[in-house]
Amino acid sequence: KDISALTRLPESILHDLHYETFKTALATHPLLRRMQFKEFRNFGSLCHLAASQETLGHGQVLFRCGDLATKMYFISEGECEYYLGASEADPVCLYSPSYVSEGVLWMIWEHRGRLTTSSSCELVSLDAQKFLDTVCYGSPKLFGYRLYANLFWDTFFPDGSSEGIEGVSDLSWDVKVMEGMVATAFPNELKGIERSQNSLWSYLSPRS
């Protein structure tokens, strides 16, 4: 009944509700935090049209190695374990705020490992096609996003090929690397974008 009532709300109220619901999770990524400050309208559209909430119980599998990816995921509550490739040992433990599978935003991406919940989890998913629609049709900074996509590819796959790269995973990099990529793609824009929670950023790298 609650969900049915929400669908009957005016579009403007739904837009604001989705913004308030998803902004914190999405803005943990440096590129999306830049969008929140510099392209507020587009960031709001992203929250409204491309983001959704997913609830998983303990022991559920979100994706497996080789699955074709369609979404990027942000862990907002709970814990997950990531196993690279077909491995069943040495998982990387992921907590809020962590995100995985950014590659799906910039290329055809097959998951490089398995993500399993180790507790009840709340995640925010970002639909890759809807993200691209928002950027391509709504952003005045399309060139910057194209440059960021090229930087992502060159950093992730320095030999120019996505085939047979050992150790490539769905996990995020060190936040400093990603901030540097954003600064290169959008020069002279990041002044004034404050980190509202400095402690949050120190936890973005996955903990093992």
> Mean pLDDT throughout 94-121?
94
CA-to-CA distance for 132 and 54, rounded, in angstroms? 21
Residue type, 61: V
Is residue 204's pLDDT more than 50? no
CA-to-CA distance for 12 and 40, rounded, in angstroms? 15
pLDDT for residue 51: 97
pLDDT for residue 138: 77
- Quote the mean pLDDT of the chain: 85
Collect all residues with Cβ–Cβ distance below 8 Å to 166 and sequence separation of at least 6: none
pTM reported for the whole predicted model: 0.84
Q: Which ranges of the chain would DSSP assign to H, the alpha helix? A: 2-7, 11-26, 30-38, 40-49, 128-138, 142-156, 175-185, 198-201
CA-to-CA distance for 68 and 88, rounded, in angstroms? 20
pLDDT for residue 207: 36
DSSP 166: T
pLDDT for residue 13: 87
